[in-house]
Amino acid sequence: MTTVFEKPKALTDAELHYCPGCTHGVIHRLVAEAIDDLGIEGKTVGVASVGCSVFAYNYFNTDFVQAAHGRAPAVATGVKRANPDNIVFTYQGDGDLAAIGTAETVHSAARGENITVIFVNNAIYGMTGGQMAPTTLPGQVTQTSPYGRDVDTVGYPVRVCEMLSQLDGPAYIERVAVNDVKSVRKAKKAIKKAFQYQVEGKGFSLIEILSTCPTNWGMEPLEACEWVEEKMKPYYPLGVYKDKYAKGDE
């Protein structure tokens, strides 16, 4: 019998703790596939953040460091500078990366650190029960915006790719999604390219992935995927925001 589909080698056999329909699991797989494809499992170091993906270190067959909330890019900077031959990536939610960790995100990008940031934007604080995040959409109902996000009172969402692409430091910034097969395929290409850039010493890469949180959005998994399509993608357009090494019309 021919095997046509396997678990990536860069994933352990640990059972994921994510809620049914949560796309954190899909993103884990895409990161692991990129590590497998590039043959870098033995020298990759992940930096886990604080959020629903706090146990990422259980799921990847690579070395891992656990960072304090928001500090993953600073920890990754240290790991990479001390061990430049390692391939270092962070895995962070929007609360971790765009709220408490804003400074670390902006300055690691500005310094052009040769690291890869995997940024999971699900427009809410998942782990802590669904509070408003910096990326919560205008009008979106959360535990702390029960009447919908009121931009006059709490301000507007932060578009991370647009913001960071204004800096000179980053090499590659792209926003992708994982709510349907076509999007997953594109996300896979982007994640692999970000790791490839680090292997080639090209500098800082950040891939933002629009992700679902059916539990805290109060939706069925399929409904959550449709919500990404209908609500998130118009506010957070997909695409390459910066590529210092783009060839042709990319």
Q: Which is nearer to ligand SF4, 56 or 117 (CB)?
A: 56
170 binds ligand TPP (CB under 6 A): no
Per-residue contact string for residues 55-84; x = within reach of ligand TPP by CB under 6 A? --------------x---------------
Q: What is the residue-wise DSSP string for 115-150? A: -EEEEEE-SSBTTTTSB--TTPPTT--BTTBTT---
- The smaller minimum CB distance to ligand TPP, of residues 73 and 203, is found at 73
Interface ranges with ligand SF4 (CB under 6 A): 18-19, 22, 24, 52, 122, 126-127, 213-216
Q: Closer CB to ligand TPP, residue 44 or residue 121? A: 121
Strand 239-243 versus strand 172-177 pairing type: antiparallel
HSE-CB of 171 using CA atoms within 13 angstroms: 21
Give the span between the Cα atoms of 89 and 117, in whole angstroms: 6
Kindly tell me which residue out of 128, 129, 166, 222 binds ligand TPP, with binding defined by CB under 6 A.
128
- Encoded one letter per residue, x for contact with ligand TPP by CB under 6 A and - for no contact, window 19-58 reads -------------------------------xxxx-----
Q: Greatest CA span in the chain, whole angstroms?
A: 61
User: Candidates 116-124, 185-193, 196-204, 242-250 — which segment interacts with ligand TPP by CB under 6 A?
Assistant: 116-124
Which one-letter DSSP state was computed for residue 218? T
Residue-wise burial string across 175-204, b where 16 or more C-beta atoms lie within 10 A, e elsewhere: bbbbbeeebbebbbebbbbbbbbbeeebbb
- Minimum separation from the CB atom of position 219 to ligand TPP (A): 15
Half-sphere exposure of 11 (CA within 13 A, CB side): 17
At 149, the amino acid letter reads R
For ligand TPP, the closer CB: 34 or 133:
133
Binding site for ligand TPP (CB under 6 A): 50-53, 69, 93-96, 100, 120, 122, 124-128, 133, 213
